[in-house]
Amino acid sequence: MERSSNGLWYTLFNLVVCFISFSESVHLPGVASRDYQRGDHLQVKVNKLSSTKTRIPHEYYYLNYCKSKHVENSTETENSVYTFLMREEQPCKVACRVKLDAEFSKKFKEIIDDEYRVN
């Protein structure tokens, strides 16, 4: 009886794993789902720079990244210059060009050395 029960659980587990692997969506807790159609504009949002090494967060635009002309803050995120069209191929584009001065280069190196990541 015990063996048959384990076999059933094993089969059910495999079916669930197969179902999950073939699904085309992901649900994030606390985030309302939204349907997109081909060609819909997608705006990339940015959050902050964080590091497990220093644990001191910085705003995303702490460094002189390419910045939108009008930065909109919304619940912990800001808009960025990156946009996409849903299910449309797009060639690579230059978002902007930034000249690195000595101060910017120093800050950038410190952020890398302190293992910051972009959220």
More confident residue, 21 or 9: 9
pLDDT band at 7 (very low <50, low <70, confident <90, very high): low
Q: Would you state the pLDDT for residue 2?
A: 47
Q: Would you state the pLDDT for residue 9?
A: 66
Q: Would you state the pLDDT for residue 79?
A: 84
Per-residue model confidence as pLDDT tens digits over 42-70: 888 888 899 999 989 998 888 887 887 77
Asked whether the whole model's pTM tops 0.85, one would answer no
Q: How many CB atoms lie within 10 A of CB 63?
A: 16
- φ, ψ of residue 44 to 5 degrees: the values are -85, 125
Q: Would you state the pLDDT for residue 45?
A: 85
Q: Mean pLDDT, to the nearest integer, of 5-27?
A: 60
Q: Mean pLDDT, to the nearest integer, of 9-19?
A: 61
